[in-house]
Structures are given as structure tokens and as C-alpha cells.
Chain A
Amino acid sequence: MNWKNYFTTSIGKKILVGATGLFLILFLVVHCYVNAMIFWCDGGKHFTEAAAFMGGNVAVRILEIGLFLGLGLHIIQGLMLWSQNAARRSVRYEVSAGNKTSKWYSRSMGLLGTLILLFLILHLFHFWAPNRYGQAFDAGWKEEDLYEKMMVVFTPMWVVIVYLLGCFSLAWHLMHGFYSGFQTFGLATNRYKGIIRSVGVAFAILIPLIFASMPVYMHFMANSHP
């Protein structure tokens, strides 16, 4: 059996999803940390500095490629698992156990992931694409002030709502994904299971909550300082 075979078995595929998932969780921590600087209440000074550093640093740019590869792998493998697993039972049950034997979000990772993906497209279009496009193709490019940009983007209410929905999907996705990633690597033993579950729940609530408070905060900032 060669390396490729190892990663194409059912466990192999899961390992890829799990590994990329845990990597994305790390990214969320960094992303959340940097963005949370908007709460310094300094008119975005700290935040803009950090954002500029992240935007202008070559190492970060290289890491970003890894991030996109990881994200892509996570999405592709995840969706493939979803569709392949769905095909393992051609005749469906008339009555299903529903939530009696498992959690709805554990069964809905494909759906939640897809919602997050849709949100992500919008999110990248808002905050990532303009700067990166300019950086690459526009000779006269100057880093856009993301703090200002947030004010603008989050002025209309519907954008805030879409972002909140995105965070909501992310929370439930993490509620399963955090624990699941550790389980996939065989780390959720009886000894550590409890801790991993608790940390997972805390993480799944805290990080999306911080993210969710950003559009809300900026929305009110924008509307109170026109």
C-alpha cells in the first residue's frame, strides 16, 4: 500500500478533513485575535496596524496560500464525503431516529459547511479580494483601510444579518467539528474526551460570538458617527 492509498481510504479521507479542519480552527484564532482589535475603541488604530502588517508581510502571504489550499481541501473532501456517504443507503428509512440518537448539527455538517462557504464568498469579496487584487494588478495600489471599509460594508442591516447567519453556521459547524477533529486523530480517549468536548463547546460559542459582535459593533459605530 502506498501513501496515496492511505489517504483515500475512508479513514484517510477523514484524516484530511480533520487535519485541515484543525488547521482552520487555528486560523480562526489568529483571525479573531487580529479583528478583535477593533474593540480597542481607538478608531481602529491598533487594528489597522495589525491588518497592514498581515496584508504586507510576505510570510503571511505564503501562509495564506497554505490556508487556501487547506480550505479548498477541507471543502472538497468534506463535500465528497457528504455525497459519498449519502449514497451508501439507496433506500431511505421511512422513519428516522432524528435527534434521539444524535445531534442535528453532527448530521448536518455538509449543509452547515455549504452555508459557511456561501458566506465566505461574500466575505472574501468584501474584505480580501479588493486589497489582494490591487496588490497584484494595480501598480498604484495602496492598502485600503479595512476599518473604514468595515464601517461602509456593515452600514446596511441586511449585510449584518447575513454575517450573523454565517457566524451562526460556523458555531454549529464548530460544535461538531472541534471534537470531531480530535476524535479523528484518536485523541478523544475516555481520559480526554470530557475536556475536549468542553473546550470544543466553549470555542464554538466564544469565537463565533466575537466574530458576530464585529458587524453589529461596526454597524452601530457607522450609524452613530455618520
Chain B
Amino acid sequence: MQHYNMNLTLKVWRQRNNKVKGHFETFQVKNISSEMSFLEMFDVLNEQLVAEGKDPIAFDHDCREGICGMCSMHINGRSHGPWDQTTTCQLHMREYKDGDTIVVEPWRANAFPVIRDLVVDRSSFDRIIAAGGYVSVNTGNAVDANALPIEKQKADESFAAASCIGCGACVAACPNASAMLFVSAKIAHLALLPQGDPERKVRAVNMVQQMDTEGFGSCTNIGACEAECPKGISLENIARLNREYVGAVFSGSPRG
């Protein structure tokens, strides 16, 4: 792989906090190596800003290996940038060439208020999980792990849904700012397993209600979420959530 260096123009959203309005600010960065990750390019820019006595750009990141779900940039119109099934931290600069201009925005959704610059508040996701995204089993109550065989295909499908990292790219990408892909991934993960079966109706109804309370839009089956999901979570999960919900409605859920 040929390595090269590049100079770039960055147009980045700046917003001091959620009480003030934001705006775009333009920066030049020089000598960016094609081997850097996108966030390392931001590190370079921030070092430059600190040296100039300016405020560095705030952005969320932690593991930088594509699994924690904390990084969250909207890059040239794409959640997590142009690469398929890739988080921002795993996007590498060999995607770009000398002289490119890159526009970087925060996830935009009313349910994800901006905290600062590119950092948004995704605690709504935690509250959706708290509304029912679990199996109610206390520590110490479990039977032997192999007492309950699970069909491999179902276990694999459940795992595929459970690989959601809760980054919020689905919301960011959705023209409706809907959180259906996120919610459905959790519903599918648990509905496909016998362990999740006893609470499946309550779970579907309560999680959907919480999703609405948080101010997410509703799904109109556009599919941008699936296209932008860094973990390849499938729209089939949304079909399953719909099915679970319809099932819960017509059979009556015990509470909620």
C-alpha cells in the first residue's frame, strides 16, 4: 500500500454548549499521513489548536477499535464517514486525497442534544434499554448453561443483532431521526433466545413507548440506518420488532 501525505480543509461544527447556537469553522491541516485514522487526524488538528491558544474541538471517542460505540461524527453527510460497516475511529485517511474538503457535523437529532462541538448526549439510549432491554434474572438464579440447548441458527441471528454498539449512527442517518434499528436490535437479540421469551411482549411495548417519549421519529422503512450501521444490523430486526409489537398488541401485554 502506497503511503502519502496530504493537506486538507476541514469544516467543523462548533458549539460551546446546548444553550448557544452553533456554527461552522474552517481549518487547514497539513501533512496528514494516509496511514492515520480519521480521529488521529483530529488529534493533529487539536494539538495545532492548543499550540495556537485556541479551544480544541470536542469529540467523543474511547476504544478506537470500533467496538465501544462512543465515536460519532457525521462526515461529508455520512454517519461514521464513507466506509461501509466502519466506525469513525476505524476510518483511515487513505480514503482522502490532497486538497480534499471534509465537512464534519455532530449527530443531529433532537433526542441527541449537542453537549459541545461534535459531542452529543445519547443517554436516551440507556433509558430505552432500562425500559425493558434485559432478561429479568438476578445473580445466582441461573441453571447450568448447557441445560437449555439453542438452535445454532437462532443463536447466530441473536448474536448478529446483539452486536449493536449503541453508537446512534442509525438515528443520525435516518431522515426521521428514528431509533428503530437500535431498539429492534435489542428486541431481536432477546426475542430469538428462549431466555428472553417470558418478557417479550412487555419488552416490545415498553421499549417502543420509551423510544417515543425520548423524541425519536418513527420508522418509515427508508433503510438509511441499515446502510450506515457500522455493525451491519439488518432491517429484518425492524420487521421482527414490528411483529413483536403487533403480537403484543393483539394478545394484550400484562403491563406497560
Contacts and interface: CB of A to CB of B under 8 A. Distances in A.
Contact of A180 (B78, B221, B228, B245): B221
A67 B128 CA distance: 38
Given A102-B227, A183-B242, A95 B77 contact: yes
The B contact surface, by secondary structure, is: mixed
Interface in A55-101: 81, 84-98, 100-101
B73 to A, nearest CB: 12
Contacts of A11: 208, 218-219, 241-242, 245
Given A100-B78, A186-B242, A10 B227 contact: no
Contact of A102 (B76, B109, B175): B175
B220 A180 contact: yes
A101 B215 contact: no
Interface string A1-37: 1000010011111110000000000000000000000
Interface stretch (A103-111, A116-124, A135-143, A201-209): A103-111
Contact of B220 (A81, A95, A187, A193): A81
Given A185-B242, A185-B246, A88 B205 contact: no
A88 B236 contact: no
Given A1-B253, A184-B242, A186-B239, A88 B110 contact: yes
Contacts of A219: none
A190 interface: yes
Contact of A97 (B22, B109, B173, B239): B173
A147 to B, nearest CB: 39
A103 to B, nearest CB: 7
A193 B226 CA distance: 15
A87 B108 CA distance: 12
A125 B207 CA distance: 45
Contact of B236 (A13, A84, A90, A188): A188
B129 to A, nearest CB: 17
A176 interface: yes
B24 A14 contact: no
A102 B222 contact: yes
Interface string B211-240: 110011111111110011000001110111
Contacts of B177: 85, 88-89
A224 interface: no
B103 interface: yes
A9 B208 contact: yes
A85 B227 contact: no
Interface string B182-213: 00000000000000000000000100110110
Interface of B: 11, 13, 22, 24, 74, 76-79, 103, 105, 108-111, 173, 175-178, 180, 205, 208-209, 211-212, 215-224, 227-228, 234-236, 238-246, 249, 253, 256
